[in-house]
Structure formats: C-alpha cells, structure tokens
C-alpha cells in the first residue's frame, strides 16, 4: 500500500512511524511532514493543508491506497469526503461527522439527545443573555467558544467576573471570529481527566489504551493551557471497569447516534473524559487522534496499524484482532522557551541521536531543517517517548533521553505522570 499522511506534527510523526512498521506498506508520503518524518516518509512541500483539490490531485498522481488525516481543520473542511469522492479510502470522519469536534454546541446537543453523561450546559448567541446566565449560576463555571479555536476557546472561570470577561472576550472581542458568535456555558465538573481514543468503522468500536495529558505549561499543573506538555498511558484512573462503563455509556451511544443522524462516524474518535464521583462524563469529543496522546498510545499497539485503519475505511473493523502491550509509555514534550506565548525559532537542536541511543523515541513536532541541521520551528518542538514495563520505569527512561537533548531556551515539565506515580505509591 502507498499511504498519504496529512499533517506535520508529533501526532503525524508517530502515525507515520507506526504505519511504516506494517509489512503491507510500501511507501509513505506526508503533506507537509517534518524532518523527523522524513526518515520514514517522503515529505511533500508546496501543498497547503486547506487546499482539498491539490491534496486529492497529489493522492491520485502518487497512486495512494489510503490517506490518513491527522489534524481537525482539514477534517472539518471535508478532506475525507473529497478523497472518497475519487475513490481513495481515507481514515477519518466526513465533514458532517467531524462536526462532533467542529461545533461544541452540536456535540452537546448530540449528548443530550442520546443521553450521554456530560456537564449541564446552555448555548447562547446573545452576550447579554450569556452574562445573565453566568450571574444566575455563579462560579466556578466554564465558558467555551462554539467553533474550532485551536484549544484556546475554553475558560474555566473561578469567579463570576472572570466568566463575564470571558463571555465578553469571546462574543464581543475579535480574537475568535466566527467561532465566537456562539458560546456554550457549562457546569464545572470535578474529577480526574483521561483520554479514551477508539477505532471505529461507524459500527464496531475498539477502544485504545487510555492515556492522560498534561495541558498546563508548568510543573504542578500550573500556568496557562497548552496543546499538551506530556502524556502517559495507560491512565491508572481508567481501570478495566471504568473503560467498560465509558464504552457502554459514551462510545456506543455516540457512534450509534451519529449513524442515526445520517452522519456515520469512522476513524479515530477521541473522548476527553472527566472521571467524577458519578462516573465518567464527557468534557469534549475530538474527531482525530490526540496530540501528544498518540505518542504514548501507538507505541503500545502490537497489531498492524495500516490494516486496522483500512478495516475502518472498509467497514470491516469487526474482523480485526487488535492487541496491546501490557507495558506503559511516557511522553515528555520539549517546548520553546515562552510557549504557549511568543517564542524564538531557528535554535539548533543537539543530542537527538544520543537520546535515541538512550532508548527513547524522539517524535518531531515543531522542527525544520536548515543547512543540514535540525532547528526549532514551533512552540512544541519534540516529544521524547519511552516504553517500559510500568509507568515509573518509563518516566525514568524518558527523562534520561530528555537530558541528552539541548536547544536554546528549552522548556519542559519535570513532573509528567506525577498523578499516576502518586496513585501507585498511595
């Protein structure tokens, strides 16, 4: 098979790395890819991710047998539909199904209709009414921009003042464009968060190993929200019983509901869960693999990813036997100093080979090649991943790799997986 991977972050590097292990895969292309992916894929320059036509034309010309779409934006712009229209199987949801991530109000309405546990909520299109509702409900309370906002559209407000200024900023400021014309206001849920990703062909659902992300920038879960500073898998909070509850109460009803609505969902469904005293509740759905969850989930997959993905495209997931390693994996993200605020680019990165010699895998997220050297080019630069028999051993191994890597201003969390470690000690 010839495979086309869409995207160029740490998630896509991990997808390409895992796909390359399949004996059925001949060649992998990536648009745009990154210098790390270049080891396993041919990176294609000059095609914009928002140009469906050019991507489809490239896929036809390169005789692609299956495309794998990483990020949410091309999914919500209908790239999967465009590829399928010319007969190229594409792993990922259609535009209509990707609404589950693209519109929070759609996702909430689906959860309400299909009785899926989630935070109580109300949707507003008028700022005045939203402010009145906030005053009536009090704090803490959660304010969300309706559309895609690159992870920046959510404010967990501790005071009414903070909530009102979030409403004003989202609905009356300019930073969110169309995504801010509508807000979802939610009850603030209390508990531990976990991510449960699943393969689905629209009918059969196979949950992956659970994982947990660290979204805050600094140690102790302090500082601003980021795209994710590190992950570990499995998440101890997701016991086998809890996974089963989540499959029954969340994954099965949402996949059946999407089918009933005429928006059958195939690909990877990401359920962001809050494990509350009343059980798992949905924080959000994403229409794609998580980043950096993928970096810890896929190393634990023992089966052939290309076969599983093709089975999802062909509606034959029930015929796949999917096996997981019983070890653990940890990912530490190395970011540019200043991230998630402004940061410098172009710093040379040293020690990549030494980190790999120390037994870690290094997935590239924001890197570029300049004069034959790898340099920084984004906020999240690298994901250093280790696999071991348990989380403690994987943490030690991952940080041993991290210590080998240097670039100017490097910033990373030193406490990845602390909750899991505390849980195991306690």
Chain residues in the site for ligand GLY (CB under 6 A): 213, 228, 286, 290-291, 293
Which of 273, 313 has the CB closer to ligand AMP? 273
Residue of 121, 106, 116 lying closest to 186 (CA atoms)? 121
Q: Which regions of 168-248 does DSSP assign to beta strands (E)?
A: 183-187, 192-200, 205-207, 212-213, 216-218, 222-225, 230-233
Which of 156, 410 has the CB closer to ligand AMP? 156
Chain mean position to CA 210: 13
Note whether 329 and 385 are within 8 A (CB): yes
Which of 211, 367 has the CB closer to ligand GLY? 211
Out of ligand AMP, ligand GLY, none, what residue 142 binds, judged by CB under 5 to 8 A for its kind, is ligand AMP
* Phi/psi of residue 307, nearest 5 degrees: -65, -40
Out of ligand AMP, ligand GLY, none, what residue 186 binds, judged by CB under 5 to 8 A for its kind, is ligand AMP
> Which residues in this chain contact ligand AMP in the complex, by CB under 6 A?
119, 142, 151, 154, 156, 186, 188-189, 193, 215, 272, 283-284
CB of 186 to ligand AMP, least distance (A): 4
CB of 289 to ligand GLY, least distance (A): 7
CB of 140 to ligand AMP, least distance (A): 8
CB of 75 to ligand AMP, least distance (A): 16
CB of 105 to ligand AMP, least distance (A): 12
Which of 59, 238 has the CB closer to ligand GLY? 238
DSSP bridge pairs for 4: 29, 67
Which of 65, 213 has the CB closer to ligand GLY? 213
Question: For the chain, first and last CA: distance in Å?
Answer: 48
Out of ligand AMP, ligand GLY, none, what residue 189 binds, judged by CB under 5 to 8 A for its kind, is ligand AMP
Which of 38, 188 has the CB closer to ligand AMP? 188
Out of ligand GLY, ligand AMP, none, what residue 228 binds, judged by CB under 5 to 8 A for its kind, is ligand GLY
Does the bond joining 340 to the residue before it have cis omega, within 30 degrees of 0?
yes
The encoded tokens of residue 77 equal 């712009």
Out of ligand GLY, ligand AMP, none, what residue 119 binds, judged by CB under 5 to 8 A for its kind, is ligand AMP
Which of 217, 362 has the CB closer to ligand AMP? 217
Out of ligand GLY, ligand AMP, none, what residue 306 binds, judged by CB under 5 to 8 A for its kind, is none
* Phi/psi of residue 99, nearest 5 degrees: -55, -25
CB of 228 to ligand AMP, least distance (A): 10
CB of 163 to ligand AMP, least distance (A): 12
Out of ligand GLY, ligand AMP, none, what residue 101 binds, judged by CB under 5 to 8 A for its kind, is none
Out of ligand AMP, ligand GLY, none, what residue 293 binds, judged by CB under 5 to 8 A for its kind, is ligand GLY
Q: What is the dihedral of CA 401, 407, 409, 415, to 10 degrees?
A: -10
Which of 131, 364 has the CB closer to ligand GLY? 364
CB of 286 to ligand GLY, least distance (A): 5
**Sheet arrangement for strand 205-207:** 205-207, 192-200, 267-276, 279-286
Which of 186, 213 has the CB closer to ligand GLY? 213
The encoded tokens of residue 149 equal 């906002």
Q: Which helix (H) or strand (E) holds 134?
A: helix 127-137
DSSP string, 9-58: SHHHHHHHHHHTT-TT--EEEEEE--TTGGGTSEE--S--TT-HHHHHHH
b/e 353-380 (16+ beta carbons within 10 angstroms → b): eebeebebbbbbbbbbeeeeebbbbbbb
The encoded tokens of residue 346 equal 């172009």
CB of 334 to ligand GLY, least distance (A): 16
The encoded tokens of residue 145 equal 């921009």
**Strand-strand pairing, 42-43 and 27-32:** parallel
CB of 293 to ligand GLY, least distance (A): 6
Note whether 98 and 75 are within 8 A (CB): yes
Which of 99, 186 has the CB closer to ligand AMP? 186
């Amino acid at each position: 098979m010839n495979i086309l991977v869409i995207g160029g972050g740490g998630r896509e590097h991990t997808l390409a790395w895992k796909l390359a292990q399949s004996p059925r895969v001949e060649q992998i292309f990536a648009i745009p890819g990154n210098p790390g992916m270049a080891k396993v894929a041919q990176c294609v320059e000059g095609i914009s991710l928002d140009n469906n036509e050019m991507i489809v034309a490239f896929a036809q010309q390169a005789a692609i047998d299956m495309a794998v779409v990483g990020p949410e934006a091309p999914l919500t712009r209908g790239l999967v539909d465009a590829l399928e229209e010319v007969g190229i199987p594409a792993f990922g949801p259609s535009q209509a199904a990707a609404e589950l991530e693209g519109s929070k109000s759609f996702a909430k309405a689906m959860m309400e209709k299909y009785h899926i546990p989630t935070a109580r909520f109300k949707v507003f299109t008028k700022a005045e009414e939203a402010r009145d509702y906030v005053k009536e409900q009090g704090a803490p309370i959660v304010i969300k921009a309706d559309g895609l906002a690159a992870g920046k559209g959510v404010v967990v407000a501790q005071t009414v003042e903070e909530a009102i200024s979030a409403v004003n900023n989202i609905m009356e400021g300019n930073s969110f464009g169309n995504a801010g014309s509508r807000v979802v206001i939610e009850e603030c849920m209390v508990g531990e968060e976990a991510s449960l990703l699943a393969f689905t062909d629209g009918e059969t659902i196979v949950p992956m190993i659970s994982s947990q992300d660290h979204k805050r920038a600094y140690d102790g879960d302090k500082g601003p929200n980021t795209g994710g500073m590190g992950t570990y898998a499995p998440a101890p909070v997701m016991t086998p019983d809890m996974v089963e509850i989540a499959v029954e109460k969340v994954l099965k009803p949402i996949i059946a509901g999407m089918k009933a609505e005429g928006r059958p969902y195939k690909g990877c469904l990401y359920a962001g869960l809050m494990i509350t005293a009343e059980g798992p509740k949905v924080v959000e759905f994403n229409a794609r693999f998580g980043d950096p969850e993928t970096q810890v989930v896929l190393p634990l997959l023992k089966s052939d990813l290309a076969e599983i993905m093709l089975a999802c495209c062909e509606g034959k997931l029930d015929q796949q036997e999917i096996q997981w390693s019983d070890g653990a994996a940890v990912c530490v993200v190395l970011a540019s100093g200043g991230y998630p605020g402004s940061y410098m680019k172009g710093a040379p990165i040293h020690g990549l080979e030494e980190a790999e010699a120390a037994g870690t895998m290094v997935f590239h997220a924001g890197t570029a090649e300049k004069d034959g050297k790898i340099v920084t080019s984004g906020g999240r630069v690298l994901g250093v991943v280790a696999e071991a028999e348990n989380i403690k051993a994987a943490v030690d191994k991952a940080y041993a790799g991290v210590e080998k890597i240097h670039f100017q201003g490097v910033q990373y969390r030193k406490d990845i997986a602390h909750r899991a470690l505390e849980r195991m000690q306690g």
